[in-house]
Amino acid sequence: MIRTESIHIPFTYAAGGTSSIFLAALRDEARILATPCPACDTVICPARSSCPACGGPTATPVDVGPAGTLVSWTELADGTTLALVRLDGADTSLVHRLAGGDGTWVAGQRLRARFGESRTGAITDIVGFESENGAGR
Amino acid sequence: MRSVAVVGTGQTKHARRRDDVSQAELVREAADAALADADMCAEDIEAVLIGNMELFEGRGLPELWVGGGAYGTGKPVMKVATGGTSGTSTAIAAFHQVGSGLFDRVLAVGFEKHSEGHTQTGMALTDPFWDRAVASGALGNFALSVSQYVAAGHATEDQAALVAVKARRNAARNPHAHLQMPDLTVDEVLASKMLAHPLRMLDMCPQSDGAAAIIVASDAVAREHNPRPAWVKATATRHDQCYIGDLDRRLLSMRTLRDASAHAYTQAGITDPVRDLDVAEIYEPCTYAELAWYEALGFCEAGEAGRLVEKGVTSMTGALPVNPSGGVLSTNPVGASGVIRVAEAACQIHGRAGQRQVERADLALATGYGVYAWADVVVLGSEP
Amino acid sequence: MNDRVERLDVPILMDEAWHYASGEAMERFSTGLAARRIEALRCDGCGRRYLPPRPMCGNCRLRMTHWVAVDDTGTLEAWTVVHQPILDGRTGEERPSPYGMGLIRLDGADTTVNHFVQTGGPRRQGVTPPGPPLFIGQRVRAVWREELRGAMDDILHFEVVEP
């Protein structure tokens, strides 16, 4: 016997010190922030309070993007295209969606973030990344 | 197994809502405090253990998201999840990792952010074929068992209220504690809102956001990091059957805690716990549970726990101070609560408990309690 | 620096369906409920009659195959009235409170069932109005749903049996 049960629970996560700055910049100014690690000499995007590599504290956030390079991509069964994007000025890749174009993407191609009109302070304030020329290749 | 000791402890400020930090930042706060206490840097840590309930924060793989906060990158990281005992089980796992010779220095950190989800709802996601439709979480379950404890004449509501007052007054001397109620009275406890008969608001633990960490070291290096390490003298764990209805009058029998403590006392050479132990940090989710645990831990005969608290035996000036920290009744970030018990017991041995320090703390007890009847027992001492 | 920074929250709704397999013993038990039949498994080692039925006795570690009939009337072994509302994870909605709860030892079983217990007048939309006090040892009886589905909440709640 198989029983199907729903689980329906609302969660509310505190973004915390650095991620709050990151999300507020997305929402209010359509800016993408990253944090430099002074010890590793890398710039981590999205901004976070400690370096994922060495564990040390990060420095004051800096602007990266909004243009960047497509690192890799895959098309999901529901038709959305998931991508790793290396924003200009950052040393780590951001997971996001690709938008527009004819569905033909090539690793290494140039991209640009497209921001939504009404933004709420969430990573989805970036609607997706599109070809820097405004369309797919 | 070689000797192992707790050489550093660290806690965050615990509060109803720590929305100034993310989960990873909260864990970092506790880890940094423990490293500083052990005069250690992050590079010294060889392995990391994370204690956390699952589902309370609705986030898969908590050890992934907070592992970096605990300096786990490039090291072995493991999550331990055993309900309310998660924290004590995390500490015990660290003892075994070091005792086995695998590592010399291990960081164990527990955390919970109850403010981010729905704790009672998470707890009520029980067997979908049996009692999920009716489960009421920790509150309803405890109330059922306490009704049996009270009906058997083992405690009165006044005696339970004394436990509430003792806990919150002790917490006033603990800068980390969530609830700060230095002037709480028995009358105020009895006047507090009825949550689930016979449990009132002030009979219950709060839901806290917080993290706690300990650093466990081998006998080869312990004294490099602490002049007075808290040596692990004994550990014991017992689980029981899975449905609440399986456990006959669980607060009255509590065979898991009874068996685990008997086993740990034998290992540690304890014959009379009230006389032999100098301090105890026990995991008491509600006032009546503390009284029931006194019986299971052999602090008194069955039915005598209320009189023990009336006589002040377990107060700060009594023969065996219980929960100088204010206990779970004052601070309860579940995944951290067991780590806090071990950290507070260790802190007493270290002689670093500040205003809540008991005199001459050479032998300390810490316990964990989870789900319906899971029990962990840890004994720490000033000698290996 | 955080004092000057707005603290942002990220709301996420968990809304998922999960598919659970019952196992053989629970399937027989659940199927029985649809016919208002309650059956327990008895351990041939210690004689304990288990609800819910499960393949193995937790005390003796013996496999259990001996089914026994259990009545829908029993004795209240523990009780409470919950005043604190709880968010029901199955629906995402707050369960109306106060409501009575109990541990009930059904006649013919040795473990207890945790379920709602009616403490007063008729139960409406899950709310149990205050009523005569419950006590340990009280006799209670299952109140069944009209359209049975073969699930534990085919029993709506237990009601006190007048002596």
Same-domain status, B111 and B144: no
> Which residue, A136, B22, B255, is CA-closest to C8?
B22
Residues B15-74: tens digit of each pLDDT: 999 999 999 999 999 999 999 999 999 999 999 999 999 788 888 888 998 999 999 999
Looking at residue B241, what is its pLDDT? 92
Contact state of C88 with B198 under an 8 Å Cβ cutoff: no
pLDDT exceeds cutoff 60 at A45: yes
- Which residues have CB under 8 Å from B311's CB, separation 6+? B318
Of C2, C19, C91, the CB nearest to A8: C91
Same-domain status, B156 and B291: yes
- Residue tagged 């507020």 (tokens): A24
The answer to the question of residue C3 being in a domain is no
> Which residue, C122, C88, C82, is CA-closest to C102?
C82
Residues B310-367: tens digit of each pLDDT: 999 999 999 999 999 999 999 999 999 999 999 999 999 999 999 999 999 999 999 9
Mean pLDDT of all residues in A109-130: 95
What is the amino acid identity at position B350?
Answer: H
Looking at residue C127, what is its pLDDT? 55
Contact state of B69 with A50 under an 8 Å Cβ cutoff: yes
List the structure tokens of B225.
């990091």
Looking at residue C3, what is its pLDDT? 52
Looking at residue C97, what is its pLDDT? 87
The answer to the question of residue B336 being in a domain is yes
CATH number of the structural domain spanning residue B35: 3.40.47.10
The answer to the question of residue A117 being in a domain is yes
Write out chain C residues lying below 8 Å of A19, CB-based. 8
The answer to the question of residue C2 being in a domain is no
- Residue tagged 């009744």 (tokens): B329
What is the amino acid identity at position A38?
Answer: P
The answer to the question of residue B376 being in a domain is yes
> Which residue, C159, C53, C94, C135, is CA-closest to B127?
C53
Residue spans of beta strands (DSSP E) within B33-151: 47-51, 77-80, 105-113
Write out chain A residues lying below 8 Å of B121, CB-based. 9
Same-domain status, B151 and B22: no
Same-domain status, B191 and B316: yes
Contact state of A11 with C14 under an 8 Å Cβ cutoff: yes
Most confident of B123-127, B129-133, C6-10, C72-76: C72-76
**Does residue B113 belong to the interface with chain A, where contact is any CB pair within 8 Å?**
yes
Of C22, C77, C86, the CB nearest to B121: C86
Contact state of B139 with C84 under an 8 Å Cβ cutoff: yes
Q: Give the strand pairing for B47-51 and B77-80.
A: parallel
Element of type H or E holding C160: strand C155-160
Helix axes B23-37, A16-29, angle to 10 degrees: 150
Q: Give the strand pairing for B4-11 and B209-218.
A: antiparallel
Of B131, B133, B148, the CB nearest to C136: B148
Asked whether the bond before C98 is cis by omega within 30 degrees of 0, the reply is: yes
Q: How many structural domains are present in chain C?
A: 1
B229: Cα separation from own chain's centroid: 20
Q: How far apart are CA C43 and CA A73, in angstroms?
A: 57
In Å, how far is C13's CA from the nearest CA of chain A?
A: 4
The boundaries of the domain holding residue A122 are 16-131
pTM confidence score: 0.94
Q: How confident is the model at residue B289 (pLDDT cuts 50, 70, 90)?
A: very high
3-class secondary structure for B323-356? CCCCHHHHCCCHHHHHHHHHHHHHHHHHCCCHHH
Same-domain status, B148 and B216: no
- Which residues have CB under 8 Å from B331's CB, separation 6+? B14, B171, B174, B176, B177, B178, B179, B205, B206, B208, B210, B325, B337, B340
pLDDT exceeds cutoff 70 at B368: yes
Q: How many structural domains are present in chain A?
A: 1
Handedness of CA C16, C17, C23, C27 (dihedral sign): positive
Nearest chain A residue to B130 by CA distance is A3
> How many CA atoms are closer than 13 Å to the CA of C152, on its beta-carbon side?
20
The answer to the question of residue C89 being in a domain is yes
Q: Does residue B356 contact residue B173 with C-beta atoms inside 8 Å?
A: yes
The answer to the question of residue B124 being in a domain is no
The answer to the question of residue C47 being in a domain is yes
Report the SS3 class of residue C133: coil
Contact state of A17 with B25 under an 8 Å Cβ cutoff: yes
The answer to the question of residue A67 being in a domain is yes
Looking at residue B60, what is its pLDDT? 84
> Which residue, B345, B362, B367, B356, is CA-closest to B9?
B345
Domain-ending residue, one of B225, B254, B282 = B225
Contact state of B129 with C78 under an 8 Å Cβ cutoff: no
- Which residues have CB under 8 Å from B262's CB, separation 6+? B298
Same-domain status, B298 and B194: yes
The answer to the question of residue A59 being in a domain is yes
- Looking at per-residue pLDDT, the higher value among C162 and B106 belongs to B106
Q: How many structural domains are present in chain B?
A: 2
Q: Which chains touch B (3 or more CB pairs under 8 A)?
A: A, C
pLDDT exceeds cutoff 50 at A120: yes
- In chain C, alpha helices (H): 24-33
Q: How far apart are CA B286 and CA B204, in angstroms?
A: 4
Nearest chain B residue to C6 by CA distance is B20
How does the average pLDDT of chain B come out, rounded? 96
Q: Cα separations (Å) of B118 from A18, A115, B145, B203, C60?
A: 25, 33, 23, 20, 37
The answer to the question of residue C14 being in a domain is no
Domain-ending residue, one of B196, B225, B254 = B225
The boundaries of the domain holding residue C41 are 24-160
The answer to the question of residue C11 being in a domain is no
> Which residue, B342, B318, B294, is CA-closest to B160?
B294
Looking at residue C124, what is its pLDDT? 54
Contact state of A1 with C5 under an 8 Å Cβ cutoff: no
Looking at residue B309, what is its pLDDT? 97
Q: Terminal CA-to-CA distance of chain C, rounded, Å?
A: 69
Same-domain status, B103 and B184: no
**Does residue C10 belong to the interface with chain A, where contact is any CB pair within 8 Å?**
yes
The answer to the question of residue C13 being in a domain is no
Q: Terminal CA-to-CA distance of chain A, rounded, Å?
A: 51
Nearest chain C residue to A27 by CA distance is C8
Q: How far apart are CA A21 and CA A61, in angstroms?
A: 8
pLDDT tens sequence for chain C (163 residues): 445 678 999 899 999 999 999 999 999 999 999 999 999 999 999 999 999 999 999 999 999 999 999 999 999 999 999 998 889 988 889 988 889 999 999 999 999 999 999 886 555 555 555 666 789 999 999 999 999 999 999 999 999 997 7
In Å, how far is A122's CA from the nearest CA of chain B?
A: 15
Domain-ending residue, one of B193, B225, B257 = B225
Write out chain B residues lying below 8 Å of A3, CB-based. 128-129
Same-domain status, B49 and B102: yes
Looking at residue B54, what is its pLDDT? 79
The boundaries of the domain holding residue B70 are 4-119+208-225
Same-domain status, B100 and B245: no
Mean pLDDT of all residues in A49-54: 92
Looking at residue A30, what is its pLDDT? 96
Provide the number of CB pairs (under 8 Å) joining chain A to chain B. Answer: 65
Radius of gyration of the CA atoms of chain B, in A: 19
Of C2, C11, C27, the CB nearest to A1: C27
